[in-house]
């Protein structure tokens, strides 16, 4: 397969070429490197595996293949399913940018937070995977998260206290100056970083510590400059960088990203790393803390079918357009780029956690279907009820069944 770069900015391509050459140190032209594809990807400063592979190809460097970065067709589905340990959370969804820490990182962060807090209060911003182990150790911990579904997963597993459903773009005066430590992992975009930094400045007491996962320099063109802006944003709210450990935060590759990589013949388990930046709140600041941060994301209604999460755009009840659907990404039903920069993201009306993404007309009928699926009705039952109620025509039936099958398979 011919692999094309996702990120074609010329400065970026040059930097990536440098990073890839450094990763295959001591490589002799014409000979394969000793390094595996997975090792090279992990050492390429956050560059997307598709870009690393395209760069290796263009530099004529061949590499060792291992089970961490197999071509998709060398790994059976049952093996790839086994690679992911069962979790108390339902599947991560790309609309939530839900990249979860791997188990070693969860343990490492838990130890750091316990040692730093010394019995003081710990706030987790979006970092739900660290919540259960901290509770087990008796920590005084609060999870602040926007996703009701994630908090419900924790409640179903028996965790009831310390869960706050909130949008961190908005002030939280009830909690100000009361935490010793914050662990934050926002989606890796400046508006989210700004919101999570402001909330940290609001909630931490002076002298408190924030651990923040930061996008590595080659995550995308512009990432290096974004890291500088982030430092300025932190300084503006009284937070000073006191330490950083490059690449020390490791992530599980979520199913939705696996699907996108598979479309390029890559398997690539757990390749993503974040840099851990440690900030100290050195002074009180009121700058911008009462102003909401504007984060431009669509509104979704979320449904759950088994372990899958399905997000659907809200419908307009007076819209009588007949039901129809098409893939949102012209290259197929799986969205090939999971980044916020994908030009097809805005066209998505229904999106599953395993990254099937469609544009839909007559969307109200889909909401009805998912409400009934959540109530354990079968797809044929649901569709025949809709036909008998006159909510869809006979000729729309087959399409509706095909879409529901794809989204819930
Ligand atoms: C990149 S994920 C971090 C997941 C983390 N690595 C873990 O292992 O739990 C970002 C998290 O922030 C949450 N989030 C996104 N926007 C938010 C907002 N405005 N307010 C609060 N939480 C938000 C998402 O629900 C998601 O759980």
Res 76: pLDDT = 46
Band (pLDDT 50/70/90 cuts) for residue 144 is very high
Res 78: pLDDT = 44
Instruction: Name the closest-CA residue to atom 12, ligand 1.
Output: 126
Instruction: Name the closest-CA residue to atom 6, ligand 1.
Output: 100
Whether residue 219 is found in the same domain as residue 314 = no
pLDDT reading at 73 higher than 80: no
Instruction: Name the closest-CA residue to atom 23, ligand 1.
Output: 146
362, part of any domain: yes
Whether residue 27 is found in the same domain as residue 175 = no
Band (pLDDT 50/70/90 cuts) for residue 339 is confident
88, part of any domain: no
189, part of any domain: yes
Q: Of 228, 251, 281, which marks where a domain is finished? A: 281
Res 82: pLDDT = 37
Residue 82 and residue 77: Cα distance in Å, rounded? 9
pLDDT reading at 68 higher than 60: no
Pocket test for ligand 1, best of 98, 192, 338 (most atoms within 8 A of CB): 98
Whether residue 266 is found in the same domain as residue 386 = no
pTM: 0.92
Res 74: pLDDT = 46
**What HEC string does the chain produce?**
CCCCCCCCCHHHHHHHHHHHHHHCCCCCCCCCCCCEHHHHHHCCCCCCHHHHHHHHHHHCCCCECCCCCCCHHHCCHHHHHHCCCCCCCCCCCHHHCCCCECHHHHHHHHHHHHHHHCCCEEEEECCHHHHHHHHHCCCEEEEEECCHHHHHHHHHCCCCCCEEECCCCCCCHHHCCCEEEEEECCCCCHHHHHHHHHHHHHHEEEEEEEEEEECCCCCCCCHHHHHHHHHHHHHHCCEEEEEEEEEEEEECCCHHHHHHHHCCCCCCCCCCEEEEEEEEECCCCCCCCCCCCCCCCCCCEEEEECCEEEEECCCCCCCCCCCEEEECECCECECCCCCCCCCCHHHCCEEECCCEEEEEECCHHHHHHHHHHHCCCCHHHHHHHHHHCCCCCHHHHHHHHHHHHHHHC
Overall number of domains in the chain? 3
Band (pLDDT 50/70/90 cuts) for residue 317 is confident
287, part of any domain: no
Res 352: pLDDT = 97
Band (pLDDT 50/70/90 cuts) for residue 205 is very high
Mean pLDDT across the stretch 51-66?
86
Mean pLDDT across the stretch 19-41?
83
Position in ligand 1 atom list of the atom nearest CA 249 = 6
pLDDT digits (tens, 9 = 90+) for 293-308: 999 999 999 999 999 9
Whether residue 196 is found in the same domain as residue 268 = yes
65 vs 66: which has the higher pLDDT: 65
Segment of 70-84, 193-207, 338-352 carrying the highest mean pLDDT: 193-207
58, part of any domain: yes
Task: Tell how far the Cα of 37 is from the centroid of ligand 1, in angstroms.
Answer: 29
Whether residue 256 is found in the same domain as residue 307 = no
Mean pLDDT across the stretch 250-275?
91
Whether residue 147 is found in the same domain as residue 225 = yes
Band (pLDDT 50/70/90 cuts) for residue 70 is low
Task: Tell how far the Cα of 124 is from the centroid of ligand 1, in angstroms.
Answer: 10
CATH of the domain at 216: 3.40.50.150
Task: Tell how far the Cα of 219 is from the centroid of ligand 1, in angstroms.
Answer: 18
Whether residue 205 is found in the same domain as residue 256 = yes
354, part of any domain: yes
pLDDT digits (tens, 9 = 90+) for 98-140: 999 999 999 999 999 999 999 999 999 999 999 999 999 999 9
Mean pLDDT of the chain: 91
Whether residue 235 is found in the same domain as residue 325 = no
Res 137: pLDDT = 98
Whether residue 43 is found in the same domain as residue 120 = no
Res 33: pLDDT = 81
Contact present, 137 and 114 (Cβ < 8 Å): yes
Position in ligand 1 atom list of the atom nearest CA 195 = 19
Whether residue 314 is found in the same domain as residue 390 = yes
159, part of any domain: yes
Whether residue 275 is found in the same domain as residue 322 = no
Instruction: State the residue range of the domain holding 38.
Output: 10-69
Res 9: pLDDT = 84
Res 356: pLDDT = 96
pLDDT digits (tens, 9 = 90+) for 343-394: 999 999 999 999 999 999 999 999 999 999 999 999 999 999 999 998 898 8
pLDDT reading at 152 higher than 80: yes
Task: Tell how far the Cα of 91 is from the centroid of ligand 1, in angstroms.
Answer: 14
Give the residues surrounding ligand 1 with Cβ less than 6 Å away: 96-101, 126-129, 145-147, 150, 167-169, 185-187, 195, 295
Whether residue 99 is found in the same domain as residue 211 = yes
């Amino acid at each position: 397969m011919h692999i094309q770069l996702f990120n074609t900015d010329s400065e970026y391509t040059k930097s990536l070429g440098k990073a890839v050459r450094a990763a295959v140190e001591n490589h002799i032209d014409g000979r394969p490197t000793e390094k595996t594809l997975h090792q090279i990807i992990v050492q390429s400063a956050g560059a997307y595996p598709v870009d690393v592979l395209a760069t290796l190809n263009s530099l004529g460097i061949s590499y060792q293949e291992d089970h961490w970065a197999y071509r998709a067709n060398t790994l059976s589905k049952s093996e790839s399913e086994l690679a992911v340990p069962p979790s108390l959370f339902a599947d991560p969804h790309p609309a939530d940018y839900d990249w979860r820490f791997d188990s070693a990182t969860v343990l490492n962060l838990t130890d750091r937070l316990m040692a730093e807090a010394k019995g003081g209060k710990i706030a987790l911003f979006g970092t739900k995977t660290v919540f259960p182990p901290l509770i087990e150790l008796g920590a005084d911990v609060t999870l602040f998260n926007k996703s009701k579904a994630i908090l419900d997963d924790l409640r179903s597993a028996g965790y009831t206290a310390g869960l706050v459903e909130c949008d961190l773009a908005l002030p939280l005066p009830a909690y100000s100056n009361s935490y010793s430590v914050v662990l934050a992992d926002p989606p890796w975009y400046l508006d989210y970083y700004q919101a999570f930094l402001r909330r940290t400045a609001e909630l931490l007491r002076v002298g408190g510590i924030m651990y923040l996962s930061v996008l590595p320099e080659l995550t995308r063109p512009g990432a290096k400059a974004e890291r500088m802006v982030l430092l300025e944003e932190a300084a503006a709210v009284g937070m000073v960088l006191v330490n950083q450990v490059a690449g020390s935060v490791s992530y599980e590759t979520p199913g939705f990203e696996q699907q996108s990589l598979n479309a390029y013949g890559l398997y690539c388990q757990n390749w993503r790393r974040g840099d851990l930046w440690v900030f100290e709140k050195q002074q009180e600041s009121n700058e911008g803390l009462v102003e909401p941060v504007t984060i431009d994301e669509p509104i979704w209604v979320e449904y759950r079918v088994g372990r899958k999460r399905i997000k659907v755009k809200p419908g307009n009840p007076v819209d009588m357009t007949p039901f129809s659907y098409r893939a949102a990404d012209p290259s197929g039903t799986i969205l090939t780029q999971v980044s916020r920069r994908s030009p097809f993201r805005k066209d998505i009306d229904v999106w599953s956690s395993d990254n099937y993404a469609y544009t839909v007309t007559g969307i109200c009928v889909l909401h009805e279907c998912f409400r009934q699926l959540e109530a354990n009705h079968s797809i044929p039952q649901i569709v025949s009820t809709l036909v008998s109620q006159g909510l869809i025509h006979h000729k729309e039936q087959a399409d509706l069944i095909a879409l529901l099958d794809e989204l819930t398979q």
